[in-house]
Amino acid sequence: MQKSFSDLEYAAKRKVTKRERLLGELEAITPWSDLMSALAPYYPKGQGRGRPPIGLERLLRMYIVQQTLGLSDEGIEDALYDSHAIRHFVGIDLGRETAPDATTLLKFRHLLEENKLTERIFTAIKAHLAEKGLMLREGTIVDATIIAAPSSTKNREGQRDPEMHQTKKGNQWHFGMKAHIGVDAESGLVHTVIGTAANVNDVTQAQALLHGDEEEAFGDAGYQGAAKRPEAKGKANWNIAMRPGKRRALNLGREIDRLRDPVETIKARIRAKVEHPFHVIKNRFGMKKVRYRGLAKNTAQLMTLFGLANLMIAKGRLLQLNAQGAS
């Protein structure tokens, strides 16, 4: 494609912004062909009369930018006109065409949600990472995080989201949902995602977060009793953290307690890897509050976000492998 004057002018500038760097990394590490293959069977072919649908890859790229930058449908439409970096990533030249509007992206999101295609996005990325040898299956770390939902009733319905609930953490009440994840103990990559209301106890989801082939499973003190639950089965050996109060009560003057304390430290170091995916989706992608109404829509979004978080966590190794493949 011939470059426009704006492309040439933009290429001449020296400073690379954080947004450009992020989009450049996503361009390099995203398995575009795998994602396209996963979604193509469900995307309209544009047969018959009427305006043909916008290309799948263009809408997929627009959707991924929206998710990684935490933008609304209207926000990403405006950003396409405001940002050359985003237009370049999506593949739009305003000198030749108009950008897809918010309604078009909304319909695409509904297509993804109704056909559970964000789960296919997550699975395709997971398979890509496994193929690269980056996701092992020997151990799993489980954890959950609360994602807040609006508690105000000052809205069109005059009520809070009925699928969200409140729960108490420490001395503070939280209203919203929980994202439960199972993470590869070696790489820190997410292999399982479950969305529930915030009041669902973590331990009830523990077994569902395992893939079944791991030998060791790790969880914080909230997963006490996971191995004794009726659904617990398989060969995984659960390594659950001691409750904080019980650990503080250890008598380090006793030999048995002196041995227990470093074991708890080792468990904590292993479990620390589970915090990285939460950091990426909340702090890099801005998912500190739910963006939609209902568990299904927000869980669908979490599938995409954790898939993209996996790419960001494995970024260094993926870029290295890409460079080796190009040489």
Phi/psi of residue 174, nearest 5 degrees: -130, 140
The per-residue pLDDT for 52 is 58
**pTM to 2 decimals?**
0.90
- Strand stretches in the chain, DSSP E: 139-148, 165-169, 172-184, 190-197, 216-219, 237-240
Query: Is 52 strand, coil or helix?
Result: coil
Per-residue tens of pLDDT for the chain, all 327 residues: 455 555 555 555 667 888 999 999 999 999 999 999 999 999 987 655 555 568 899 999 999 999 999 999 999 999 999 999 999 999 999 888 888 999 999 999 999 999 999 999 999 999 999 999 998 888 999 999 999 998 877 667 668 899 999 999 888 999 999 999 999 999 999 999 999 999 999 999 999 999 999 999 999 999 999 999 888 877 789 999 998 788 888 878 888 878 888 888 999 999 999 999 999 999 999 999 999 999 999 999 999 999 999 999 999 999 999 888 776
The per-residue pLDDT for 50 is 53
- From 113, 127, 136, select the one nearest 35 (Cα to Cα): 127
3-state secondary structure string, 221-273?
HHHCCHHHCCCCCCCCEEEECCCHHHHHCCCCCCHHHHHHHHHHHHHHHHHHH
CA angle 201, 202, 205 (to 5 degrees): 105
Query: Is 214 strand, coil or helix?
Result: coil
Phi/psi of residue 231, nearest 5 degrees: -80, -10
CB of 217 closer than 8 Å to CB of 239: yes
CB of 94 closer than 8 Å to CB of 81: yes
Parse the chain into domains and list their residue ranges. Answer: 5-115, 136-298
Cα gap 20→296, rounded to integer Å: 32
The per-residue pLDDT for 152 is 75
The per-residue pLDDT for 124 is 98
CB of 261 closer than 8 Å to CB of 250: yes
The per-residue pLDDT for 1 is 47
Cα gap 84→156, rounded to integer Å: 36
Half-sphere exposure of 187 (CA within 13 A, CB side): 25
Structure tokens at 124: 């395709």
CB of 289 closer than 8 Å to CB of 149: yes
